[in-house]
Amino acid sequence: MERDERREFVIKSALAGAALSAIKIFPFTQDAHKTLVGNPLRFPPQLQPGEPLILNAANVEVWPGTTTQVIALNNSYPGPTIKIQKGEQFSVLFDNQLTEEATIHWHGLLVRN
């Protein structure tokens, strides 16, 4: 396939994918007026200064109207948000209340192993 043909293929594929996505997002049927049902975006609570991170089993409403037992931090799924400024020192008491060993790791933070 030549370069121009490849580019045209990629563009048309992307447009086709977008069109198919639009049909799912904006259904063009008689049921389009109905309220969409789904799992709302979660905004976990922010960890407060001096608050420990407690790992335990918790019953959480993962899907609207249904509770599910999960392994959670501070009874939150997903776990709490930790906000620190660049260069700021951070420490937290990690309390594993499970009956087995556990390891946690940070997302969005570059730390030494």
What are the pLDDT digits (tens) for 34-69? 566 667 777 889 999 899 999 999 998 888 888 999
Question: With 80 as the cut, is the pLDDT of residue 33 above it?
Answer: no
- The model's pTM is 0.58
CA distances from residue 16 to 12, 13, 88, 102, 103 in whole angstroms, order as listed: 6, 5, 47, 45, 43
Nearest CA-CA partner of 94 in 110, 82, 85: 82
Write the single-letter amino acid at 65: G
Fold of 37-113: Immunoglobulin-like (2.60.40)
Share of the chain above pLDDT 90, in %: 30
Share of the chain above pLDDT 70, in %: 78
The whole-chain average pLDDT of the chain stands at 81
Cβ neighbors of 90 (< 8 A, separation 6 or more) are 82, 84
- pLDDT for 28 equals 54
